[in-house]
């Protein structure tokens, strides 16, 4: 099961940091790629730099035609929103389907039609928080924690240590 994150409504400058974090969390928590609907070379470059150094198979692309991305997705389409059904009610069903998953996360107000275009509107609790947190929790529940044990074959690797920072280069 491959997961792609569709980042809707990115505002250049204002959302740069958060969108970069959406991409980094997507990669670190087991997604295979991110689609940005607003061109922003700086964001794309900074995610690609992390992939180049730390490895993994993660793609970033820009596709302004977000309706087409959702409509043409062959697999399960999930929109993360505080107004949706609680994640615990649907996550087993989404995983059991075994289909590739498109996860839509917003920045500013998400167009109402998104709620109709997807298969599931899923809430990570019903309080307002953040697309970064929502994505992390959703992916962790989808992969049942296994994503944090995946090996990324990159140039840099952390050697876990109880104190201090150890990074080796290969
Ligand atoms: N005010 C915006 C709206 O009404 O659509 C949402 C802004 S919120 C900062 C940005 C994104 O975070 C949302 O589009 C959604 O994807 C995600 N998000 C925030 N809280 C969430 C929650 N409790 N469950 C799922 N996703 C959430």
Q: What is the pLDDT of residues 33-57, one digit of tens each?
A: 999 999 989 999 999 999 999 998 9
Question: What is the CATH superfamily name and number for domain 3-169?
Answer: SPOUT methyltransferase, trefoil knot domain (3.40.1280.10)
What pLDDT is stored for residue 100 in this prediction? Answer: 98
Q: What is the pLDDT of residues 70-104, one digit of tens each?
A: 999 999 999 999 999 999 999 999 999 999 999 99
What pLDDT is stored for residue 76 in this prediction? Answer: 98
Ligand 1 neighbour 111 (Cβ under 6 A): no
CA 128 to ligand 1: nearest atom = 20
- Binned at pLDDT 50, 70 and 90, residue 10 comes out as confident
Give the global pTM. 0.96
Ligand 1 neighbour 137 (Cβ under 6 A): no
- Assess contact for 143 and 30: CB atoms under 8 A: yes
Instruction: Label residue 22 exposed, middle or buried (CB < 10 Å: 0-12, 13-18, 19+).
Output: buried
% of the chain surpassing 90 pLDDT: 91
Total Cβ atoms within 10 A of residue 101:
25
Question: Which sequence spans correspond to the domains of the chain?
Answer: 3-169
Ligand 1 neighbour 134 (Cβ under 6 A): yes
Rg of the chain over all Cα atoms, to the nearest angstrom: 16
% of the chain surpassing 70 pLDDT: 100
């Amino acid at each position: 099961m491959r997961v792609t994150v569709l980042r809707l409504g990115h505002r250049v400058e204002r959302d740069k940091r958060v969108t970069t974090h959406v991409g980094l969390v997507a990669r670190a928590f087991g997604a295979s790629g991110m689609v940005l609907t607003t061109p922003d070379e700086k964001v794309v470059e900074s995610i690609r730099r992390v992939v180049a150094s730390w490895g993994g198979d993660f793609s970033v692309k820009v596709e302004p035609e977000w309706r087409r991305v959702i409509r043409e997705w062959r697999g399960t389409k999930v929109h993360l929103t505080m107004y949706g059904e609680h994640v615990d009610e649907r996550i087993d069903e989404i995983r059991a389907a075994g289909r590739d998953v498109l996860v839509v996360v917003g920045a500013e107000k998400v167009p109402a039609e998104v709620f109709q275009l997807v298969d599931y509107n899923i809430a990570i609790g019903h309080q307002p928080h953040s697309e970064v947190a929502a994505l992390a929790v959703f992916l962790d529940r989808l992969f049942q924690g296994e994503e944090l044990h995946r090996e990324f074959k990159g140039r840099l690797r952390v050697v876990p240590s109880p104190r201090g920072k150890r990074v080796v280069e290969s």
